[in-house]
Chain A
Amino acid sequence: SYELTQPLSVSVALGQTARITCGGNNIGSKNVHWYQQKPGQAPVLVIYRDSNRPSGIPERFSGSNSGNTATLTISRAQAGDEADYYCQVWDSSTDVVFGGGTKLTVL
């Protein structure tokens, strides 16, 4: 079965750039989607198909995907960006797969 690996936690200084990775075998060949989840709330889509932002998501959020790693980049990190972030792909054999999630802390 297909698996996605995320770091448990990432820290970033206020105003700096945070990068959250999502590892998977040849993930570059798949479409990767990213969700932000704040405590007590439902996940919110922040990036779809590797690098596309839904309407209403700030330009500070961007994504890339190549080889065995996809990356969510949050520029000029704000206190309001503190949340759990999940990557997700569809695999033809496994169907929907979520990464384990990364807790982003803004220092």
Chain B
Amino acid sequence: AQTVTQSQPEMSVQEAETVTLSCTYDTSENNYYLFWYKQPPSRQMILVIRQEAYKQQNATENRFSVNFQKAAKSFSLKISDSQLGDTAMYFCAFMKHARTPGNTGKLIFGQGTTLQVKP
């Protein structure tokens, strides 16, 4: 079974600074997807960034980038130039690859990291 672990329950960062959120996972699959979701106080789940395991290149979306280390089963999220609106809970999630037999597309989430951006 797959597991996702986020070992930092809470983090804080000064506005305009850079912060990195950690995520590790465990799987026997060779191909899969990894995601970061943001959950602001409104509790809406917003997709931040997506990584396919077979792609060597780390995904980037504007100020958000990941450091994907497949051998170490690590998937950290870097937020550059932090903004007050980045204050939220961040969840790392795993999904089996589309072509995995029997895959239903369910997401397995970590426990979440609460990020506070301070002015």
The yes or no verdict on A and B being binding partners is: no
Give B contacts to A, CB under 8 Å. none
